[in-house]
Structure 1
Amino acid sequence: MKSKTSAILITGAMLSAAVLPVQADPMLDLLKVLRDKGTISAEDYNTIADAAKAQEEKMDKMVATAKPAASWADKVVWTGDVRYRYEGIDDDRRDDERNRNRLRARIGVEAQVTDTVKAGVALASGSDDPVSSNQTLGGGGSSKGINLDMGWIDWNFAENLNLVAGKTKNPFYKPAKNGLVWDGDYRPEGGHLSYDNGTIWAVAAYHFLNSDNGSNGTNDVEEMFGAQLGFNGSISDTTSYKIGASYFYIPVEGSASFVDGDFFGNSSVGGLHALDYEVAEVFAELNTNLGGIPTTLFADFVQNTDSDADEDTGYAMGVKLGKVKNKGDWDFGYTYQDLEADAVFAAFADSDFGGGGTDVKGHKFSAGLGLSKNTQLALTYFKNEYGDFTRGEEFDYDRIQLDLKTKF
């Protein structure tokens, strides 16, 4: 009878140790009493104690590595920025100087849908201008418009490989954020494939100028293609560099302007684009530290390889000292840029330099001062010329911008 009772107790105790390890200590206390009374042997007690200890260690490891369920708030990130701008423009073609106050407000949300899929939506002030989300203040304090700035899905389908579709941030790297080819507010529409392992990055994109072949009367889908390959390297702990090359194909010859009938410096014939844009780009950026001051130097060169283009090259080079992030931080920048009439597709180039577009050259000076974390006062001055330089039809263009801006 004693042997049968011991077997039942041992079996029950071992099952308890396996299924309910959190109760191991009280169970072992009871078994100690039974061992001391001779109900179970010391050997059986040790067998049960070892099983309980092993199960308890297994559960501790499971608890340590378990990931808590992500809440809705953990999956969603909000971002935004607001900029108030005073702007003065002195354009030789205008009789009077232009002065205006403008506001840019943007807000976006990004959600981690699954481990491999992200999605985002962003809204911005302004009009339907593809290269500006500025809103000029006026109208007696009237309400201002809000537009869809971005809407995208990002699928990380393999290691370091992403497929992104929608209206997105520009996937092509711009050295020192310079707008020689692309304005900073431009949001392409379509899709792109990107690879980035931290050292090498590559982008291949298929974007639309017009995706509805029934809306332009020609039954054509107007599209553009782009590719970029770049390399991140380092020389020392404080000095790194980026080099890259790009190719953009925008076949618009024979098409009307896509923005308010304006060709922004590009050649036109009979109200239509005269050329395609097959733009090759090479660039380099150096980031270092000079006397404790963060310093960036860059150079960017482009050429429209379309054989019919005469004024087909452009370049920009510049330097930036300092970096504004916190209160008291400062920076200063200088850029010289020369962009011939058909070097790039003008509608997407920097909308501030020379009034926007191509057929422009000159200087850009900038300075910033940190007022608090993520908030700064910035001053930018453009001293430019635009027009047909080969025929001496040059116009001076001066522009000053005073910005108060913050981001969150």
Structure 2
Amino acid sequence: MKHLATPLGWLLASILSCAPALALADTGQSEIQLLREQIRALSARLDALEQGTNRNTAAPATRVRAAHDTASGSADDAPGSDLADLDHRIDQAVEARVADRLEALAWAERIRWSGDFRYRYENIDRQGQDERNRNRIRARAALQARVSDTVRVGLGLASGSQDPVSTNQTLGMAGSHKSLNIDLAYFEWTGLTNTAIFGGKYKNPLKRVGSSALVWDGDWRPEGFAAAYEDGSVFAYGLGTWLESDSASGQQEFSYLLQGGTRLRLGNKAELMLGAGYYAVDAADKGSFFGDGDFFGNSFDAATQSYRYDYRMVEAFAELTLSTFDRPLTLFGDYVTNLDADDEDSGYSLGFEYGEAKTPGAWSVGYLYKKLEADAVLGLLADSDFGRGGTDAKGHVLSGAYAIQDRWIFELTYFINKTGLASGDPQDQDRLQLNLNFKYR
């Protein structure tokens, strides 16, 4: 048995040292559980082999024991003791190897991956211009690592250009390589009850009602610091974000954004969210923060190529969610005004969403009407799809979605807009988007 057990022990230890390598391909708890199941199966196999060997060697062992007892009158050095000692040493070796491998896998439990992929066909019909058709992709992947019980760090990559409000990548140029950019790079501290502190480049925590995106595009990632408080019924956020942090540029700008509100339960099937915000951006007499002289609908001085106004934006919003025919119905409204602008200083949106496209076969539909005057908000960070992107547009948005499978959703969005309102001669612009969305984790 000694000659058999020793190779089996080393075989078991060797297999245990290799098995976790496959588990390293994924970071979930299920892989560690699989490793433990493999250990139990291998241990059971070794026990079965040992039992078979014991039956085959029982008679010789008895004769050896009898001869030994006759010669020495003692059974202290019996083969049974050797076998027990060998089993004990095998168990110790296996346990030590398992402990080492589980410790090596412990990092996997601290990592969480997420991401999505979108394929889009887009048609743009702009008055006075030829129709434009293009195919675009969006790919995003992010990981969040738990440093301690209260600290996490995150890193995210996304396709597209340097545009702060878009991660779309247009296909073409003979299959040329496409760019990946840092989309997220932040820390999060949650050492206070119901509170999170962020620093770096992080997801915008400010609330947006429905599909409005009246003030902020959903792809914008603030850069700076933020504090968020949520207790289920009350929420409050404070952000300090750099539009330009380098003083050498002559355009250093640190903006302050504040928002707060409440959620109210209205019976068993309704919830009302009310909120308001104040956002301060010092832009007057500064050039475009992004792009070559593009002010995205805002008023500017043509001679100096600089913004005409600061943006002291006050926002008020409401969202009512109901359950109707076993489907959620959301009604929402949003209003914003810029206290610093002389005119063309306000915007609003009204709309609804019905249904929820999450499980296979589920669907949703929506409608939105929006009007955003030229200096109501900072155009650079406004919705990049509405109008020509930015401000100075109004119109309708029709949308629908259908869940083909779990985490695979088809979406249709149709924009019927007018742009260039401040010119007195607005132009028609229609935009059709067909999306296939895939999400993981």
- Normalised to the residue count of structure 1, the TM-score between the two structures is 0.80
Residue 277 of structure 2 corresponds to residue 242 of structure 1: no
Structure 1 residue aligned with 2:333: 299
- SS of the counterpart of 2:210? helix
- SS of the counterpart of 2:178? coil
Is this contact kept in 2: 1:177–1:184, CA < 8 A? no
| Alpha-carbon distance, 1:364 to partner | 0.1
Structure 1 residue aligned with 2:307: 273
Letter in structure 1 aligned against 2:182? L
| Alpha-carbon distance, 1:309 to partner | 2.6
1:222-252 Cα offsets, whole Å, 9 max, x none, are 1211000111111122211211000000000
Of 277-286 and 221-230, the range deviating more from structure 2: 221-230
Residue 232 of structure 2 corresponds to residue 201 of structure 1: no
Structure 1 residue aligned with 2:343: 310
Aligned mates of 2:193, 2:273 — CA distance in 1: 22
Aligned mates of 1:394, 1:281 — CA distance in 2: 26
| Alpha-carbon distance, 1:93 to partner | 4.3
Structure 1 residue aligned with 2:45: none
Structure 1 residue aligned with 2:138: 104
Aligned mates of 2:383, 2:403 — CA distance in 1: 25
Structure 1 residue aligned with 2:316: 282
Select the structure that is richer in helix.
2
Aligned mates of 1:232, 1:113 — CA distance in 2: 32
Indicate which of 158, 181, 184 corresponds to 1:150: 184
Structure 2 residue aligned with 1:262: 294
Select the structure that is richer in strand.
1
- Which residues in structure 2 correspond to 1:383-402 (within 5 Å)? 383-389=416-422, 392-402=424-434
Aligned mates of 1:388, 1:325 — CA distance in 2: 38
Residue 119 of structure 2 corresponds to residue 88 of structure 1: no
| Alpha-carbon distance, 1:393 to partner | 1.0
Letter in structure 2 aligned against 1:280? V
- Which residues in structure 2 correspond to 1:15-34 (within 5 Å)? none
Structure 1 residue aligned with 2:255: 224
Aligned mates of 1:74, 1:104 — CA distance in 2: 28
Structure 2 residue aligned with 1:336: 369
Runs of 4+ aligned residues of structure 1 deviating over 3 Å after TM superposition are: none
- SS of the counterpart of 1:354? coil
Aligned mates of 1:112, 1:267 — CA distance in 2: 45
Aligned mates of 1:75, 1:372 — CA distance in 2: 29
Residue 245 of structure 2 corresponds to residue 211 of structure 1: yes
Structure 2 unmatched ranges of 5 or more: 1-101
Residue identity over aligned pairs, in percent, reads 44
Structure 1 residue aligned with 2:393: 360
- SS of the counterpart of 1:347? helix
- SS of the counterpart of 2:167? coil
Aligned mates of 2:268, 2:128 — CA distance in 1: 50
Aligned mates of 2:326, 2:119 — CA distance in 1: 31
Residue 103 of structure 2 corresponds to residue 72 of structure 1: no
Structure 2 residue aligned with 1:349: 382
Is this contact kept in 1: 2:373–2:421, CA < 8 A? no
Structure 1 residue aligned with 2:9: none
Structure 2 residue aligned with 1:324: 357
- Normalised to the residue count of structure 2, the TM-score between the two structures is 0.74
| Alpha-carbon distance, 1:392 to partner | 2.8
- SS of the counterpart of 1:101? strand
| Alpha-carbon distance, 1:176 to partner | 1.3
The 1:93–1:207 alpha-carbon spacing in structure 2 relative to 1, beyond 3 Å, is: farther
Aligned mates of 1:172, 1:338 — CA distance in 2: 21
Structure 2 residue aligned with 1:375: 408
Structure 1 unmatched ranges of 5 or more: 1-67
Letter in structure 2 aligned against 1:375? W
Structure 2 residue aligned with 1:130: 164
Is this contact kept in 1: 2:273–2:319, CA < 8 A? yes
| Alpha-carbon distance, 1:162 to partner | 1.8
- SS of the counterpart of 1:353? coil
Aligned mates of 2:192, 2:424 — CA distance in 1: 55
1:345-380 Cα offsets, whole Å, 9 max, x none, are 011000000121111000000011110001111110
Paired residues, number:
335
Structure 2 residue aligned with 1:30: none
Aligned mates of 1:221, 1:385 — CA distance in 2: 34
Aligned mates of 1:150, 1:276 — CA distance in 2: 28
Structure 2 residue aligned with 1:37: none
In angstroms, what is the RMSD of aligned CA positions? 1.4
Letter in structure 2 aligned against 1:72? W
Is this contact kept in 2: 1:103–1:137, CA < 8 A? yes
